[in-house]
Structures are given as C-alpha cells and as structure tokens.
Amino acid sequence: MINNNDRVLLVGEGREYYVRAGAGTLSTDKGQVDLALLIGAQAGGCIESHNGTRFTVLIPRPTDFFLHAKRSGAPMLPKDIGFVISSTGMNRNDTVLDAGTGSGIAAIYFGGIARMVTSFEIRGEFVALAQKNIQDARLENVKVVAADMLTADGIYDVVHLDMLIEAPHIEHAFSLLGAGGYLACYTPFLEQMAVVVDSAQERFSEVHTHELIEREMVRSKRGTRPSTSVCHSGYITIARK
Amino acid sequence: MINNNDRVLLVGEGREYYVRAGAGTLSTDKGQVDLALLIGAQAGGCIESHNGTRFTVLIPRPTDFFLHAKRSGAPMLPKDIGFVISSTGMNRNDTVLDAGTGSGIAAIYFGGIARMVTSFEIRGEFVALAQKNIQDARLENVKVVAADMLTADGIYDVVHLDMLIEAPHIEHAFSLLGAGGYLACYTPFLEQMAVVVDSAQERFSEVHTHELIEREMVRSKRGTRPSTSVCHSGYITIARK
Amino acid sequence: MINNNDRVLLVGEGREYYVRAGAGTLSTDKGQVDLALLIGAQAGGCIESHNGTRFTVLIPRPTDFFLHAKRSGAPMLPKDIGFVISSTGMNRNDTVLDAGTGSGIAAIYFGGIARMVTSFEIRGEFVALAQKNIQDARLENVKVVAADMLTADGIYDVVHLDMLIEAPHIEHAFSLLGAGGYLACYTPFLEQMAVVVDSAQERFSEVHTHELIEREMVRSKRGTRPSTSVCHSGYITIARK
Amino acid sequence: MINNNDRVLLVGEGREYYVRAGAGTLSTDKGQVDLALLIGAQAGGCIESHNGTRFTVLIPRPTDFFLHAKRSGAPMLPKDIGFVISSTGMNRNDTVLDAGTGSGIAAIYFGGIARMVTSFEIRGEFVALAQKNIQDARLENVKVVAADMLTADGIYDVVHLDMLIEAPHIEHAFSLLGAGGYLACYTPFLEQMAVVVDSAQERFSEVHTHELIEREMVRSKRGTRPSTSVCHSGYITIARK
C-alpha cells in the first residue's frame, strides 16, 4: 500500500511520471492528477486524472530509480552494475561495502539484493542526495557513511569501488573481505584500471578485468541492424580473496 | 555451519575443490582430506590434509556453481545473467518465473536474489539435474516444475525465458506479468530474436534488444591489451508490461 | 601542377578548404584567397590570402573526397572500404566491377588502386553526382555506367556490391569473376546479409561474413578511454570463386 | 604466363596448394602433379595430376601471401592493413615508407597499390625472409632496407610503422612526410599507443587512434549468430601532417 510521501511511478498513455504521494497535483497533457489520492492506493491499481484518463500506479523498481532519480555525475550503467552482481554472485546472505556512493544508484540495486549495504562517500553533497534516493527506494538495509572507505572496518562478502582508486584502497579492501569474498572495481580510464590490477595482483588470488560493449539491435520495417546509439564504457576488475 | 551432505568449496595452494561434506576422502597432490571432518566446520575456517596442508572451507557462491556444478548444454554466461538481473531490477520482493531451467544455473543466481523462483523445464533429464544443483545451493525458494511454461499461472514480477521461444510463449508471459513487470528473453540466434521482438512489440510498451560483447583486458610485463579469448554471445530482449 | 578547374585542398590555420582552381575568391576568417592563383601552383606549395596568411596547396586524397565531396545518402565508411580492399587483395593488376556507385566514394578509393573500375548505378541523379566526383579525383580509369549490374559482361578480378542485393546479382557476379576472383558485398541489414550468404554459398567455394566494430580511443589529461562516439556498422560478405 | 620459379596457387577438390613452377612433384591425395608443367601455363588455366584430377592455376594475390607465405612472428591482420590503406587513402601515386618489415606481408599489400614502397627492418633474419616473399609476389617496386628507419631520408606520402615505436621514430616520420601525408602506427599494447599519441600530438595536426573489432557472423541450419572465433586486436593511430 502506498503511504504519504512514497515515491510512485504513474504510467499511462505512453508516458510515465515519477511522483510522490501526498499533497500536490501532477499536470499532464491528459489532465490533472491529485497526488493525495495515491495515499492508500495499491501497487498495480489505477488512478484517474480529473478528466478520466487512467494511470497505473507502480512502486518504482531499481530500473526506475536509474532513469528518474535525481543524479549528479555519470552513474554506472545497468550493464556494468549487472556484471558486478553476477561476477561476485551477490545474494541475500551478503554484506556489501560500496564506495563512492555518488547518487546512490548502484547502492539501490545492491540494496534490493544483499542483506546489508554500507556505502562510503566523501563528498557531502552526494551523501545527502544518495540518502534521499535510497529513502525513496524504501531500503532500510542501505546505510550511507560520509567518510573515506579507508576508515571502514568489519568483514564483507563484496567490496565495490566506483571512485578514484589508489593502491591503499585495494589494500584496505582486501582486509575488509572474508575468505572467498569479491572485490569489484569500476574504472572509466585505462590508467586507473592499471593501478587497480597491479595492486590487486599483489594480494588476490584471481584478478580479471573485463569491458562490456553493449550494442542495441534495432528492428524496423527496413530490417534488423545494430544501433549506432552511444554506449559509454568502463573497465571492471573482479578479484577474489 | 556445514552439515552432512552440504556442498563445500575447499581452497588452497592455488587450487579449488568442489566437494560434499560427509563420508569419503579427497585426494589432492597435497595429501588426503577426510571429508567427514567438514561436518560441523565453519565457513571461512580451515581443514588440514593428512600431511598438514591447510585448505579454507567456503560455502559455494553462485559463481562457484557456474564453474563447478554439473551441467548439460551451454548455460547463459554471468555477463548475460547479470544483464537480466539489472535490466529487470530484480530484487528481494520479486517472484520470478524462469524457463527453461537447463542445469539450473540462472535459477541459482535468481534464487539468491528474488523472494521466489519457479523454473519450468520440459526435458526430464534436466529437471533432475537442476533440482540437484539447486538443492546443493541450499535455495528453498526455488522450485523446478517439469512442465511447459505455457501451463504456468499466477502473477510474476519477472519472466525469464532461455528456451526455444515462439510467439505463444511471449503471449503467455505477458499474461503472467503484473503491471510494470519485465520479460527477459535470451536467444542465441538472430532469427529467434526476431520472433521474440516481433511478438513482444505487439503487446509490451517498451521492447529493447541488446547484445553484450565481453572483452578481457590482459596485463603482462609486455603491456596491456585486449585478450583474444573466446567470448560467446547471445541477444537479450527486455520488454516491460 | 594544378590546372584550371582542378580540385584543391587548402590547409592552414587549423582549417581546410576544398576548392576549385580558377576564377573566384575564397573568403576565410584569415582573408580572401584568389583561386586563380592556384593555376600553375605546385602540390605542397603555398598560397597567400590578401592579408598574407599562408595556406598549403594539396591535391586531395581519397580521404579528402570522403570528407568533402558532395554526397547523397550514406556512403560506406573507410573502415569498411579498407576491409574490402584488403580482404580481396585489390591491387594494380585488377579490373573491378562496382555497383551501386552512389556518390562514387568507394569507386574513388578503388580507382586509386586498381587498373580499371567500372561502376554501375541505376539511379540517374547518382550517376551524374558520381561522375563529377570521379572527375574531380582525376581518375581516368573509373567509368560510371547508368545501368543495372545484371547487364554487365566481361571478366573481373573483384566484384563489389553496395546496393539492394538479390540472388540474381550474386549469380551474375559469379559469372563475371575470373578464377580466384573475389566478390565483396556490403549489407547494412541482417536480412540482406542472409540473402547474400545463402546465395553465395550455392556457388562460391569460400564465403565469410564479417562486421567491423570501430572504436576510437580518446586520450586526454584525465586518461585514456574508448570514445562514446557513434559508429555505423554493416556486414561485409567476402566470397572467392 | 607462368615462368620457371614463379609462385603459383593450385586450387581444386576443395584444397589449395602454394607451389613453385619448375622441377619437382606435388603429392596430393588426388594424385601427383608435375610442377614443371606449370612453366608456360596461363593464370586461370588448368593442370592435371597423373590420374587426371584437374587443378586451376592461379597467380597468388596478397590474400594468398597472407595465408601461405613463410612468416615469422604475428603479422598485422588484413582488417588492420585495410584500415591503414583506407585511412591514409593509399593509392598508385604514393611513395610509402614501411617499418618494420617482418615477413613482408604488409609491404606486399602496399606494394600492389603504391608506386614505390621502401621497407626498413633491423633484424637480419626478417630481411631475408621478407625479400624472398616480396620476390615471390613479383613486386619490383618494393625494396627492403636492412636498417633502422631513423636512417631513412627522402619525402613520402605515407609512413607506416609496425615496430617498437618510440618518440624519435614519430619525430623522424614527421620529417619524412610531405605536406598532407599520413603517418600510420600499429601498436598491439596500450602503453605503446600512448607513446605514439603523445608524441604525434606534439607535431601533427590531426591524430586519431582506433581499434577494429572484427566479428564473423556464422550462418548454419540452426540460424545466424556471431562467431566465437578468436580475434586479435591492436591499436592504429593515424596522424596527418
């Protein structure tokens, strides 16, 4: 059931709106929607605009936060987040350390999977933004810490770094992992990838770096072909303790 | 704590062994390991071979089942499984329908994430194999059904198809999804992808097909370069209801 | 030496201009250039604008025609033209049949290499455009024929098709090739590629289809990474008689 | 017409043989072929083995030298050689400087296109091998020089480097190029590519680095899909003076 202040996705007429239940009105080209009516609504149910157009009420999924949540900077793409999840075998038994949080998008994906996620971020403005996004995602198992991950302690199953990584971070990540745990590092530039690999190879038993090139296939009346759409890429290094 | 008959990963001396706790002996080039000693052992603890070589005791993760579980046929690669997870935003609130099960590898990844996974498989020999692998993964929320997914009912958040897909499967998948739910179809061949896309576009609001090209970057004393290692690829179509 | 009406590339001050020697003036932000002064100039020499800015005089290369020649529609990219050249081993002893001509860009590349190029084009407006571009490239060994390649006769070392290809074109291409000659077909869509491959496999001894994914590597102060720039792709089928 | 000692490709019964006209016998599973009979034969003609099996007589093309010529080390792939040719607009008016020669494969491709190719190689064993291959290709416009390209003088339209490249080579290449000429550098490793780019950017007006990923599409009764075959990659930097 939707509560006051909950994030809701309204879908209809080929459009979608990322709104908040409670006082206020959403103006669409299909009429006004009274957002207070969302309080008490059921996910999957419908709500009508003042002129009778129906919108489906959805609880946002991680994919919706990726598209609609307020962001700052370039978050990791779902293809790369998915690669981290499957390459580490992330699951409900896991405690995950994430750094840097950024807008919290990766933490939202991980938080829907793992038992507990602790995400470190040293830039104050990102901490506030991420906390708001994570609260919107109703994830009580994700904690954002306004500190350098070098200050972290405890033992984790997965450590995920998406930040400017230097050798001490790799060294500390090693100490934070339990036996069989995984380190996943995302680096957009080759030079950073080299720092990660060189440092990880000194400590971890298996170190592999991959890049995923994502191509959309487009099918039209003229035929099927690869898209020419833009596709950002980074390098993902996976190391196992 | 490890119980009798549990799957265990023993790691040491640069080798790993996928064994079962209980009566029996593992022969390694570093001595004999009495597997009965694993009963009652702690994950992350150690066990010694008869000549004193130490092996770390790990509970296998999904990545270990991908590598070590008995398989039949070619399972989806982790890069593609991860893409399904992140493109659908799969999370702990989800009920997932999976078909065809195959060796159960994708079901094991999904079962560690979702609330409930029901996996349909029409080939009897795969049903038995998958059930064994899933039991080894200690996933009580994954059920293998020896039937065609066309016989499935209920409402799911995610439907994942890795089988010979025809239009009726897409049609039925649509009826099995709740509002905002996702269909993910894996097709190794372009002709099958076309069937999926054409059928999905008649029903679903958003349909996108991607291919992921995975490249390993290799770093040696000579320098850094893309690997020439083999990389199998399929097409993944994601459609949202 | 540059003659009246010759195409010339003027390069200077970080800019380049694709002009014609003869009556007329080029206006640049570095002054006016009297294009009549180009007549009799030497390639590699210099010419001055009215205020003394110097521009280098170059005879355009095929790469310049790709960038500057008047075009209509999407020509093959240099990466794909180069693949045709090297996959067929095109060289100075060769007679080449090309169809459809389009703006004549591929014919200009081939004409700089082969002994003789005959290019077929059924669309009248392209014939005129291509002839003008080829004349600008001063290639006397390239002939544009306003006809369907199905009407061609003679024996060629290489047949290159960049048009809507159907089985009869493949069949006729086979009859036009000498022993050991190569057919190269460019098809932007998968469905067209399938037609080409199926038809070619009935006649030719070796048939291979490739796609080239071109990625630019960008190096800045922040580091080195793959570009996200757009990259159009087609399928190139090479068959040998 | 084939002369004594000429290289010939014999093709028939789904096999091909790279032989030399003159005294000697070729043993095939379809009988013995007297190679002296090749002297005076016509390209495209036929020759029979002692039991009447017919083989077509072909003059080898550059593609045949790539496959059959004696090699040492890993030559550039045709996709990369083609990219150099089209990115530089190499044509019959050009003088080309090539270094290091290696087995001479790239020089054979270039020699069939350009007016004159001078290829530098400091390793004596490669010089002899390349000279033999180039002689077999009957290219009188290709000269192999047993020296460092730093000793070269003259003016070239294209300089192509496939060797361990350091800043002085780039600097010297710049001095060897005429206005509008192109430098093309092939580097298998990222670190070498960085050296090339940094040095070229100091001198040349346009510098671009690309990588070509070649994928074969395989079409069988089961359907069409990308191949999983191995594909070696290097970085190609093109700079224009």
Chain C residues within 8 A of D209 when measuring between CB atoms: 216-217, 219
Please answer yes or no on whether A233 and C213 come within 8 Å at the CB atom: no
**Chain C residue whose CA is closest to D155:** C44
In the predicted model, is pLDDT for residue C13 greater than 80? yes
- How far apart CA C226 and CA C217 sit, in angstroms, is 4
In the predicted model, is pLDDT for residue B39 greater than 80? yes
Tokens of A160: 């995920």
Q: How sure is the predictor about A231, in pLDDT bands with cuts at 50, 70 and 90?
A: low
Chains touching D (at least 3 CB pairs under 8 A) are: B, C
Cis peptide before B181, with omega less than 30 degrees from 0?
no
Asked if residue B237 lies in contact with residue B169, where contact means CB atoms within 8 angstroms, the answer is no
Buried b (16+ CB within 10 A) or exposed e, B116-131: bbbbbbbbeebbebbb
Among positive and negative, which fits the CA dihedral C61, C64, C70, C73?
positive
Quick one: which of C104, C105, C241 has its CA closest to C174?
A: C241
Q: For residue B226, what are the β-bridge partners?
A: B217
In the predicted model, is pLDDT for residue A233 greater than 90? no
Q: How sure is the predictor about C35, in pLDDT bands with cuts at 50, 70 and 90?
A: very high
Q: How sure is the predictor about B228, in pLDDT bands with cuts at 50, 70 and 90?
A: confident
Query: Which of A106-115, A193-202, D13-22, D228-237 has the least mean pLDDT?
Result: D228-237
Percent of chain A scored above 70 by pLDDT? 98
Q: What is the pLDDT of residue A138?
A: 96
Chain D residues within 8 A of C67 when measuring between CB atoms: none
Residue of D195, D217, D225, D235 to mutate, interface with B, max B Cβ within 10 Å: D225
**Chain D residue whose CA is closest to B211:** D226
Q: Which of B192, B223, B232 sits opposite D192 (nearest CB)?
A: B223
Q: What is the pLDDT of residues C183-217, one digit of tens each?
A: 999 999 999 999 999 999 999 989 999 999 888 99
Please answer yes or no on whether A85 and B87 come within 8 Å at the CB atom: no
The tally of CA atoms less than 13 A away on the side-chain side of residue A26 is 26
With a threshold of 0.90, does the pTM exceed it?
yes
Is A81 in a helix, a strand, or coil?
helix
In the predicted model, is pLDDT for residue B58 greater than 70? yes
Q: Which of D190, D217, D219 sits opposite C224 (nearest CB)?
A: D190
- How far apart CA A139 and CA A159 sit, in angstroms, is 19
Q: What is the pLDDT of residues C110-134, one digit of tens each?
A: 999 999 999 999 999 999 999 999 9
The tally of CA atoms less than 13 A away on the side-chain side of residue B21 is 22
- How far apart CA A80 and CA B168 sit, in angstroms, is 32
Q: Which of C191, C225, C228 sits opposite A223 (nearest CB)?
A: C191
Asked if residue A117 lies in contact with residue A110, where contact means CB atoms within 8 angstroms, the answer is yes
**Chain D residue whose CA is closest to C235:** D217
Please give, rounded to a whole number of angstroms, the shortest distance from the CA of C31 to a CA of chain A: 39
- How far apart CA D78 and CA D56 sit, in angstroms, is 25
For residue C196, the 8-state DSSP code is H
Please answer yes or no on whether C230 and A229 come within 8 Å at the CB atom: yes
Percent of chain D scored above 90 by pLDDT? 90
Q: Which of A9, A179, A235 sits opposite B56 (nearest CB)?
A: A179
Query: In sequence order, which residues have a C-beta less than 8 Å from that of residue C77 and are 6 or more positions away?
Result: C214, C232
Please give, rounded to a whole number of angstroms, the shortest distance from the CA of C94 to a CA of chain D: 10
Please answer yes or no on whether C213 and D216 come within 8 Å at the CB atom: no
Please give, rounded to a whole number of angstroms, the shortest distance from the CA of B218 to a CA of chain A: 7
Q: Which of B192, B223, B226 sits opposite D233 (nearest CB)?
A: B226
Q: What is the pLDDT of residues B90-125, one digit of tens each?
A: 999 999 999 999 999 999 999 999 999 999 999 999
Is the ipTM reported for this complex over the cut 0.85?
yes
Average confidence (pLDDT) over A206-215: 92
**Chain C residue whose CA is closest to D61:** C89
Average confidence (pLDDT) over A213-233: 84
Tokens of B147: 């039937």
Please give, rounded to a whole number of angstroms, the shortest distance from the CA of D191 to a CA of chain C: 10
3 state SS for A23-68: CCEEEECCEEEEHHHHCCCCCCCEEECCCCCEEEEECCCHHHHHHH
| Torsion angle defined by CA atoms of residues A211, B83, A215 and D238, in that order, rounded to the nearest 10 degrees | -10
Please answer yes or no on whether D189 and B213 come within 8 Å at the CB atom: no
Tokens of C116: 């003789």
Chain C residues within 8 A of D226 when measuring between CB atoms: 211
Chain D residues within 8 A of B191 when measuring between CB atoms: 223-224
Q: Are strands A156-161 and A142-145 parallel, antiparallel or unpaired?
A: unpaired
Query: In sequence order, which residues have a C-beta less than 8 Å from that of residue B135 and are 6 or more positions away?
Result: none
Tokens of D111: 């020699």
Among positive and negative, which fits the CA dihedral A146, A149, A153, A154?
positive
Q: Burial, A205: exposed, middle or buried (Cβ in 10 Å; 0-12, 13-18, 19+)? A: exposed
Report in angstroms the alpha-carbon separations of A97 from A92, A183, B93.
14, 10, 22
Q: What is the pLDDT of residue B150?
A: 98
Asked if residue D91 lies in contact with residue D153, where contact means CB atoms within 8 angstroms, the answer is no
Quick one: which of C53, C62, C3 has its CA closest to C27?
A: C53
Q: What is the pLDDT of residue C75?
A: 86
Please answer yes or no on whether A63 and B180 come within 8 Å at the CB atom: no
Q: For residue A202, what are the β-bridge partners?
A: none
Which CB contacts under 8 angstroms, 24+ apart, belong to D187-190? D187/D234, D187/D235, D187/D236, D187/D237, D188/B223, D188/B225, D188/D233, D188/D234, D188/D235, D189/B222, D189/B223, D189/B224, D189/B225, D190/A190, D190/B223, D190/B224, D190/B225, D190/C224, D190/D235
Q: What is the pLDDT of residues A3-41, one digit of tens each?
A: 999 999 999 988 999 999 999 999 999 999 999 999 999
Q: What is the pLDDT of residues D22-50, one digit of tens each?
A: 999 999 999 999 999 999 999 999 999 99
In the predicted model, is pLDDT for residue A198 greater than 70? yes
- How far apart CA A21 and CA C12 sit, in angstroms, is 62
Tokens of B170: 């897409």
Among positive and negative, which fits the CA dihedral B183, B185, B190, B191?
negative
Residue labelled with tokens 């033999």: D132
Residues of chain D with pLDDT under 50: none
In the predicted model, is pLDDT for residue B153 greater than 90? yes
Chains touching B (at least 3 CB pairs under 8 A) are: A, D
Please give, rounded to a whole number of angstroms, the shortest distance from the CA of D9 to a CA of chain B: 30
Q: Which of A213, A223, A234 sits opposite C192 (nearest CB)?
A: A223
- Run of H or E including C164: none
Q: Which of B225, B226, B231 sits opposite D228 (nearest CB)?
A: B231
Residues of C near A (CB-CB distance < 8 A)? 188-192, 211, 213, 215, 222-226, 228-234
Residue of D83, D160, D206, D233 to mutate, interface with C, max C Cβ within 10 Å: D83
**Chain D residue whose CA is closest to C190:** D224
- How far apart CA D62 and CA D40 sit, in angstroms, is 22
